[in-house]
Amino acid sequence: YLLHNLYCALEDLFQEIAKTFENRIEDLSKYHRELLKRMQLDVPGIRPRVLSKESYLILDELRGFRHIFRHSYDYELAPDRVKSLKQKILTNWRYIERDLDIFIDFLQGAMKD
């Protein structure tokens, strides 16, 4: 449940970034995947990328887990896979935190201009 909520909180942040700096996502059937992919893109003259490749790969796996958690009513989660994902997030959180800090620095610089 906490891993699901972590991804949802990050996705809410990415939605705000997309609404503020870009147009809408065209293919709503792939909305969650496309939103995450979009956060890897540098949009020249608009905003820098939000996520590095390392962060994207970690969060894409977490996105997949969120989907299973939310939509698989008859599917039992494998405790060892959940534990492995949790460990991966904890081990690699520094990449995500670094990327978000860089984006915050961009926002703070933009507010000074």
Is residue 3 a contact partner of residue 85, using CB atoms and an 8 Å limit?
yes
Model confidence band, residue 11 (pLDDT cutoffs 50, 70, 90):
very high
Mean pLDDT to the nearest integer, 11-20: 93
* pLDDT for 95: 97
Give the residue numbers spanning the domain of 100. Answer: 1-111
**Closest C-alpha among 102, 111, 100, 112 to residue 16:** 100
Number of domains comprising the chain:
1
Could you tell me what percent of the chain has a pLDDT over 90? 62
CB of 67 closer than 8 Å to CB of 105: no
pLDDT for the residue 23:
67
pLDDT in tens, 64-98: 888 777 777 667 777 898 899 999 999 999 999 99
